[in-house]
Structure 1
Amino acid sequence: MIIVPEAVIADLITPEASFDAVEQVFASMAAKSAYNFPVIREAIGHADALYGFKSGFDRAGLNLGLKSGGYWPGNAERGLTNHQSTVFLFDADTGKCRAVVGGNLLTALRTAAAAAVSVAHLARKDAKVLGIVGAGHQAAFQLRAVAAQRGFERVVAWNRSPEKLDRLAKVAAELGLPFESVSLDDLGAQSDVIVTITSSFDAILRDAQVRPGTHLACMGTDTKGKQEVEAALLARTRVFTDEIAQSVSLGEAQHAIADGHLREADIAELGAVINGTHPGRASADEITLFDGTGVGLQDLAVASAAVDLAVEKGVAVEVEF
C-alpha cells in the first residue's frame, strides 16, 4: 500500500493537473461511466464537528475509493486547518487498499478546479472583472484557479469582515491584477464572473445584484440548509452542476426547488457541456450558474494523480498492509 503524506502534496499537484483531473471526472459522470455513491454527512455531537464520507467509482480512470473527513471549527485554535480529510483508494480489480492520501490540500485544489472548469466552459470569452464573495481558506485557491481561465483585468471582492480580504489582495498582486474591496451591490454591478465561497446559511448575494451575462460559480453550499445566493436568482439563470442529485438535496438548488423557482429538470450537468451534448451558454446576456456541491469522484481523481506523481518522484511511502 502507498501512503502519500499531506506534507508532500503541494510539491506534487498543480492547479493545472487538478483542472484536468476534475474536467475528466465531470465528462465521465455525464457519460455515465462514473458515479458517486450516496453521501454521508453528520454532526457527531462532539467539538461541533461535521463528519462524513464521499465515495464513488470511475470506470474510465478505474478510480475507486472514498474521502473521509469533515469540518472541525475549533481547529484554528490548535494551529490546524478546520477542514480535515483523508482519501482512500482501492484497486478496482481486487478491492485491496491501494493508497492512503492526505486530503486537505487536495480538497482545496479540486474545489477551486471545479469552479475553474465551470468558468472555462460557461463564462463569456470577454470576461474582464472577477468577483469573489468570501475570504476564507478556500478563497485564495479559487482566485488563482479561476483567474487563469480568462483575460481578467481586475478583481473585486466582498467579505463580512473586510479586513480579512488582505490575503486575497496579496494573491491578486502576485497575479498582477488590481484588487478592490467593494460592497455587494458594486461587486454585482462590475463582475463578469462571480465566485461565492462561504459557509453561509442565509443568502448573501441577491437576484437584483447580478447583471445579465454574468457567470456564477457557487462553491460553498454542500450541506442541507446552507445558502449563498437568493433562490429567485436561479429562476433567471441557466443552472449547471457537478451532480444533479446533490444539487437538489444539499446544493444551492435545494432552496430554489423548495421555493418553486426551479425544477430539477431545469438543471444540467457541466459534464454534458464538456462532452458537447449540451450547448452551454446560449447568449452573451444569459446568466449561467454552476452549483458546485463537491463530489467524491473529484477527490479520487486528484488523489490518484498525486499517487502516480509521488511514485514517479520517489516520495511515496510504501508499506505492507
Structure 2
Amino acid sequence: MIIVPEREIADLMTREAAFDAVEQVFASMASRDAYNFPVVREAIGHADALYGFKGGFDRAGMTLGLKAGGYWPNNLEQHGIINHQSTVFLFDPDTGKANAMVGGNLLTALRTAAASSVSIKHLARADSKIIGMIGAGHQATFQLRAALEQRSFEKVIGWNYHPEMLPNIEKVAIDAGLPFEAVSLDRMQDADVIISITSAFAPSLMADHVAPGTHIACMGTDTKGKQEVEAALLARATVFTDEIAQSISIGEAQHAIADGTLDQDQITEIGAVINGTHPGRSSDQEITLFDGTGVGLQDLAVASAVVRLAVDKGIAIEVDF
C-alpha cells in the first residue's frame, strides 16, 4: 500500500492537476461511468464533531475508495490544527485490496476550489470582469485563487459575516494584481461571477442582489439545513450541480425543492455541459447557478492523481499491508 502523508501534498498537487481531475470525474459521472455511494454524516456526540464517509467508483478512471473525516470546530483553538480533518483511502477495483492512504485536508480545499472553477470555465460569460466573494475564511482563499485563472477578471469585491476576515481574500486579490473592495450585499449586482463559500444556515445572497448574466457558484451548503442563497434565486437561474441527488437533499437546492420553487428535473449535472450533451449558458442575460455539494468522487480523483505524482517523483511511502 502507498501512503502519501498530508505534509507532502502541497509540493505534489497543483491547482491545474486538481482542476483536470475534477473536470474529468464530473464528465464520467454524467456519462454514467462513475457513481457516488450514499453519504454518511453524523454528529458523534464528542468534541461537537461531525464525522462521515464519502465514497464511490469511477469505472473510467478505475478509482474506488472513500474519504473519511469531518469537522471538529474546536481544533484550531484547542489543538492548533485546522477544523476540517480527512483521509482518503483507495482500493484496487479488481481485488478490493487497499492501494493507498492519502492525507485529505489540503486535497479537500483544492478539489472544492476546482469544482467552482470548473463551473466558471463552462458557465460564466466569457467577458466576465468582476468577481464577487461571499465568505472570507480559509476555503475562500482557495476558491478565489482558482477562479481567477478562469477569466480575465479586473476587480474583486467581497462581503463576509465577519468583516475583519476580509483581508484574507484581499491579499489574494492584491497578489494577483487586482483591486479589492469590501461591499454591501446589494453591491453584488456589480459582479459577473459570484462565489458563496460560507457555513450559514440562513441565506445572505438574495435574488435581487444578482444582476442578469451572472454566474453564481454556491459552494458552502453540504448538509441538511445549511443555506447560502435565497430559494427564489434558484427559481430565477438555470441550475447546475455536481450530483442531483445531493443537490436536492443536502445542497443549496434542498430549500427551493422543499418550497416548490424548483423541480428536480430543472437541475442539470455540470458533467453534461463538459461532455457537450447540454449547451450550458444560452445567453448573456441568463443567470447560471452551480450548486457544489462536494461528492466523494472528487476526493478520489484528486487523491488518485496525487498518488501517481508521488510515485513518479519517488516520494511515495510503500508499506506491506
Q: Distance in 1 between matches of 2:108 and 2:54?
A: 12
Q: Following TM superposition, by how much is the alpha carbon of 1:163 offset from its aligned partner in structure 2, in angstroms?
A: 1.3
Q: Could you tell me which residue of structure 2 aligns to residue 89 of structure 1?
A: 90
1:247 equivalent in alignment to 2:247: yes
* TM-score calculated relative to the size of structure 2: 0.99
1:133 corresponds in structure 2 to 134
**Separation in 2 of the partners of 1:311 and 1:282?**
43
1:315, distance to aligned residue in structure 2 (A): 1.2
Give the letter for the 1:115 counterpart. Answer: S
Question: Does the residue aligned with 2:114 lie in a helix, a strand or coil?
Answer: helix
2: CA distance, partners of 1:44 / 1:264: 31
Aligned to 2:53: 53
Q: How far apart in 1 are the matches of 2:134 and 2:127?
A: 21
The CA deviation at 1:69 is 0.3
Distance in 1, Cα, partners of 2:170 & 2:206: 24
Shift of 1:161: 1.3
Cα distance in structure 1, aligned partners of 2:156 and 2:101: 37
My pick for the range that moved more, 117-126 or 164-173, is: 164-173
Corresponding residue of 1:34: 34
The corresponding residue for 1:44 is: 44
Does residue 106 (structure 1) correspond to residue 107 (structure 2)? The answer is yes
Alpha-carbon separation, structure 1, partners of 2:304 and 2:209: 40
Unaligned 5+ runs, structure 2: none
Where in structure 2 are the equivalents of 1:161-176 lying within 5 Å? 161-176=162-177
Match of 1:154? 155
User: Matches of 2:173 and 2:93 in 1, distance apart?
Assistant: 42
Counterpart amino acid of 2:160?
Answer: N
- What amino acid maps onto 1:284 in structure 2? D
Please state how far the C-alpha of 1:194 moved relative to its aligned partner. Answer: 0.2
Deviations 1:92-135 (A, max 9, x none): 11110000000000000000000000000000000000000001
Shift of 1:228: 0.1
Whole-Å Cα distance in 1 between the matches of residues 178 and 144 of structure 2? 11
For 2:208 and 2:183, the matched residues in 1 are separated by: 16
Offset from partner CA, 1:205-256 (integer Å, 9 cap, x none) = 0111111000000000000000000001100100000000000000000000
The Cα of 1:314 is off from its aligned counterpart by 1.3
CA deviations on 1:11-40 (whole Å, 9 max, x unpaired) are 001000000000000000000000000000
After superposition, the C-alpha distances for 1:114-172 in whole angstroms (9 at most, x for unaligned) are 00000000000000000000011100000000110000001000011111111211111
User: Is contact 2:200-2:228 (8 Å) kept?
Assistant: yes
* CA distance in 1: counterparts of 2:177 and 2:312, whole angstroms: 33
Q: What do the CA deviations read for 1:284-307 (whole angstroms, capped 9, x no partner)?
A: 000000000000000000000000
Which aligned segments of 4 or more residues in structure 1 are displaced greater than 3 angstroms? none
Structure 2 CA distance for aligned equivalents of residues 85 and 53 of structure 1: 9
1:122 and 1:189 mapped to 2: Cα distance? 18
Residue type at the aligned position of 1:291: D
User: Aligned residue for 1:312?
Assistant: 312
Q: Which residue of 1 aligns with 2:209?
A: 209
Moved more, 31-40 or 158-167: 158-167
Alignment of 1:266-277 (within 5 A): 266-277=266-277
Task: Indicate the residue corresponding to 1:9 in structure 2.
Answer: 9
Q: 5+ residue gaps in structure 1?
A: none
In structure 1, what residue type is equivalent to 2:255? Answer: H
Comparing 172-181 and 281-290, the one that deviates more: 172-181
Contact 2:131 2:157 in 1 (8 A): yes
- What is the identity, as a one-letter code, of the residue corresponding to 1:64? L
> Aligned-pair distance for 1:60?
0.6
TM-score (norm 1): 0.99
CA distance in 2: counterparts of 1:297 and 1:225, whole angstroms: 23
CA RMSD of aligned residues (A): 0.5
Q: Give the CA deviation at 1:195.
A: 0.2
2:80 is aligned to 79
How many residues get paired? 320
CA-CA distance at 1:189 after TM superposition: 1.6
What is aligned with 1:178? 179
Aligned mates of 1:182, 1:161 — CA distance in 2: 13
SS at match of 1:56: strand
Q: Secondary structure at the match of 2:205?
A: coil
Q: Report what 1:195 is aligned to.
A: 195
Partner-residue secondary structure (3-state), 2:126? coil
Q: Secondary structure at the match of 1:299?
A: helix
The CA distance in 2 between the partners of 1:257 and 1:305, in whole Å, is 35
- Equivalent-residue separation in structure 2 for 1:70 and 1:212 (angstroms): 37
Residue pair 2:23, 2:115 contacting (<8 A) in 1 also: yes
Which AA in structure 1 matches 2:253? A
Return the offset for 1:66: 0.1
* Identity level (%): 73
Per-residue deviation, residues 38-80 of structure 1 (Å, max 9, x unmatched)? 0001111111111100000000100000000000000111111
